Amino acid sequence: MKNEVSLMVNGQPISLDGFVKELIDGTVGGILTALEGVNEINDMDLQINGGEVSVAVNGTEVPINSFVSTTIKNTVIGMISSFKGVSQVNTVRILIKR
């Protein structure tokens, strides 16, 4: 079974092809597995709202410090800002189910 990946930017769903889904899953999943306390990831919910970043893995909020928050925000916004249909990025929500 393929992973389910959904992306919303500024409250609007963004259509994703297979490559982009794998790119998002690999990038976000890679970052999150590096966090202390994160082991196997079955599902993840990443939200960016302005300068605020929240991460939940397997239904549990993952505490992140300022450095990690900034790194996640800059990586995700840098990646998705080049996607078709995305111009300005104010809010982001990425949901992944494995």
pTM given for the model: 0.93
- The residues spanned by each domain of the chain are 4-97
CB proximity list for 15: less than 8 A, separation 6 or greater:
84, 85
pLDDT in tens, 2-23: 789 999 999 999 999 999 999 9
The C-alpha atoms of residue 93 and residue 82 are separated, in whole angstroms, by 16
pLDDT in tens, 19-76: 999 999 999 999 999 998 898 999 999 999 999 999 999 999 999 999 999 999 999 9
The C-alpha atoms of residue 49 and residue 73 are separated, in whole angstroms, by 9
The C-alpha atoms of residue 38 and residue 45 are separated, in whole angstroms, by 13
